[in-house]
Amino acid sequence: MSMIAVFFGRLFIAVIFIVSGINKLIHVNDTNAMISAAGLPGGLAIPTGLFELIAGICLALGIATRLWSILLAGFVLLTILFFHREFSDPLQAMAAMKNLAIAGGLLCLFGYGNTRWSYDAMRARRRGELAAHQAQLHASEAELRAARAEGRAEAAGAPVVVRKGPFWRR
């Protein structure tokens, strides 16, 4: 049940960034004006919008969840410093608390990282299957070598390595 909650939590947080990134890309001039008003270089609307959109999509799909969640947590905390630092204004204080809560959720995602129903989990399962297959191959090779050493390989139909002189022959 907790994995279902993590899955939906990941999707809900991702939606925030997908919608915000799309809005920034649609309203580039307004976003640039807001960024310039905060004392940051003007022209950051498109990179910021793309970052939020790509990060949100990656979170939704579970691609590099831990990386994107820590990057987005830092991004959200920086927005508090640059855009919501006027704590005497109730609206700014509320926006700062909202961003703090989002950063907390992102840090929880960082902690859980590769959960079910994500690309990361699928990749980890595939790696585990590949490692198990390779271990099985190594085990059968070791059994064959042991059989050859005991002289039972001929009975099994495998070639026997016999040492004659300084070279090994089959």
Predicted confidence (pLDDT) per residue in 86-129, tens digit: 999 999 999 999 999 999 999 999 887 667 677 777 777 788 78
Residue 5: CB atoms within 10 A of its CB come to: 10
Spatial separation of the C-alpha atoms in residues 35 and 32, rounded to whole Å? 5
Share of the chain above pLDDT 90, in %: 51
| Mean pLDDT for all residues in the chain | 85
Q: What is the pLDDT of residues 15-31, one digit of tens each?
A: 999 999 999 999 999 99
Which conformational region is residue 42 in: left (phi greater than 0), alpha (psi within -120 to 50 degrees), or beta? beta
